[in-house]
Amino acid sequence: MKLFDVYPILPIEPVGAQGSWFWDSTGSKYLDLYGGHAVISIGHNHPYYVTSLKRQLEKISFYSNSVKNPLQETLARKLGEISNYPNYQLFLCNSGAEANENALKLASMLTGRKKVIAFKKSFHGRTSGALAVTDNPEISSPFNSNHEVTFLPLNDEKAFSECINNSFAAVIIEGVQGVGGINVAENSFLKFIERLTHASGALLILDEIQSGYGRSGKFFSHQHANIKPDIITIAKGMGNGFPIGGLLIHPAIKPWPGMLGTTFGGNHLACIAALVVLEVIEKEDLITHSATIGNIIIKRLSQFKKLLQVRGRGLMIGFEPHPDFEELRKNLLFEHRIITGESKPNTIRLLPPLNINLPEIEFFFEALLSIFSKAKE
């Protein structure tokens, strides 16, 4: 059997990793400034992470949600404490797409409505509902076409006020658009849509799958705007590589048996992975570190204003090179062994582990300077 060939794959085979680095099958060492789509939050193979998962494997790795699992309750308490949402409720699942799918379903159930407002350049996942609110027709299908979704420009208060009414079930928005190119939802805009969404009777869903877990310099990126969504979806950095996702659900939303469900969600290993991430974030003060290091990177990138257009918040950073440097990402990878991400058509994304340090950042900037200097010769 062959693999279903759908991924553009870099010619690199990582075989080992530690912190912000990994090694490939040839022994070459790479600085990881992408973390596998912002998944690696506390660094590759953090010693406490490895030890904790090994210890849990020796006890029990999985059972379904048909039995008690106190680890879920411990995780919910810890997440509520660190995220400053102690009164919310946690539903655990397996991925970001599944989290958004359940959030949209929940909003429709509670309102009795179907229509949703999403935003241009959004990405919320590849399952049916999540894909319907993703602004990319190339990856959609006729099966997704029956959803009633209106896409509006990000940060456009006029367009939003003219659209929102009492026929919508939900408004879904990323605190910072990741795949769309690191486009930051302005604080004033988030406050504006919170007010109008609630006035319409719809639910506000904040997709913090990529921008959450300390990446923005706060636990959730929407906390820069001091708002309280009805539902917050989480995944990527949550398990540092172990598949897990979830929904933080407003206390006014009351559950009933069977309302939502999952087989693998919240299993023992997933809970341990997620607990370790929270403990490390707290112990190593990684939210403060993310804000500090992110500001340094953004400030230094902004010094190349004639060569780069820079956007971002914390350690969720994007920059568009001048057309003369359209091969910049490839040069960083193949000449300097630095891996970054991209957003089509030409945004380079930096989503490093939250505990990346200053010498590693200096290594990146030395590579940039080397590339820009060669171009002048």
Hunting for tokens 């999952």 — which residue is that? 262
For residue 312, give the DSSP letter: E
State the residue range of the domain holding 136. 47-283
Q: Do residues 274 and 332 both lie within one domain?
A: no
Q: Do residues 52 and 188 both lie within one domain?
A: yes
What secondary structure does DSSP assign to 106-141, as a single string? HHHHHHS--EEEEETT----SSHHHHHTSS-GGG--
**Residue 5 counted as domain residue:** no
Q: Do residues 208 and 357 both lie within one domain?
A: no
**Residue 24 counted as domain residue:** yes
Q: Do residues 309 and 365 both lie within one domain?
A: yes
Q: Do residues 51 and 39 both lie within one domain?
A: no
Q: Are 114 and 106 in contact (CB under 8 A)?
A: no
**Residue 3 counted as domain residue:** no
Domain end residue (candidates: 262, 283, 304): 283
Domain end residue (candidates: 283, 303, 334): 283
Domain end residue (candidates: 261, 283, 305): 283
**Residue 295 counted as domain residue:** yes
**Residue 6 counted as domain residue:** no
- The CATH number for 84's domain is 3.40.640.10
Phi, psi torsion values for 146, nearest 5 degrees: -85, -5
Q: Do residues 172 and 308 both lie within one domain?
A: no
Integer Cα distance of 137 and 267 in angstroms: 34
How many distinct structural domains can be found in the chain?
2
> What is the number of other CB atoms lying within 10 angstroms of the CB of residue 319?
24
Q: Do residues 168 and 305 both lie within one domain?
A: no
Q: Do residues 246 and 291 both lie within one domain?
A: no
Q: Do residues 234 and 344 both lie within one domain?
A: no
**Residue 9 counted as domain residue:** no
**Residue 2 counted as domain residue:** no
Among 121, 126, 120, 138, smallest CA distance to 97 is for 126
Q: Do residues 265 and 290 both lie within one domain?
A: no
- The CATH number for 23's domain is 3.90.1150.10
Q: Do residues 326 and 206 both lie within one domain?
A: no
**Residue 291 DSSP SS3:** helix
Phi, psi torsion values for 313, nearest 5 degrees: -155, 125
Q: What contacts 170, CB < 8 A, 6 or more positions away?
A: 103, 104, 107, 108, 111, 116, 117, 202, 203, 204, 205
Q: Do residues 357 and 305 both lie within one domain?
A: yes
pLDDT given at position 377? 57
Tens digit of each residue's pLDDT, the chain (377 residues): 999 999 989 999 999 999 999 999 999 999 999 999 999 999 999 999 999 999 999 999 999 999 999 999 999 999 999 999 999 999 999 999 999 999 999 999 999 999 999 999 999 999 999 999 999 999 998 888 789 999 999 999 999 999 999 999 999 999 999 999 999 999 999 999 999 999 999 999 999 999 999 999 999 999 999 999 999 999 999 999 999 999 999 999 999 999 999 999 999 999 999 999 999 999 999 999 999 999 999 999 999 988 999 999 999 999 999 998 989 999 999 999 999 999 988 999 999 999 999 999 999 999 999 999 877 65
**Residue 33 counted as domain residue:** yes
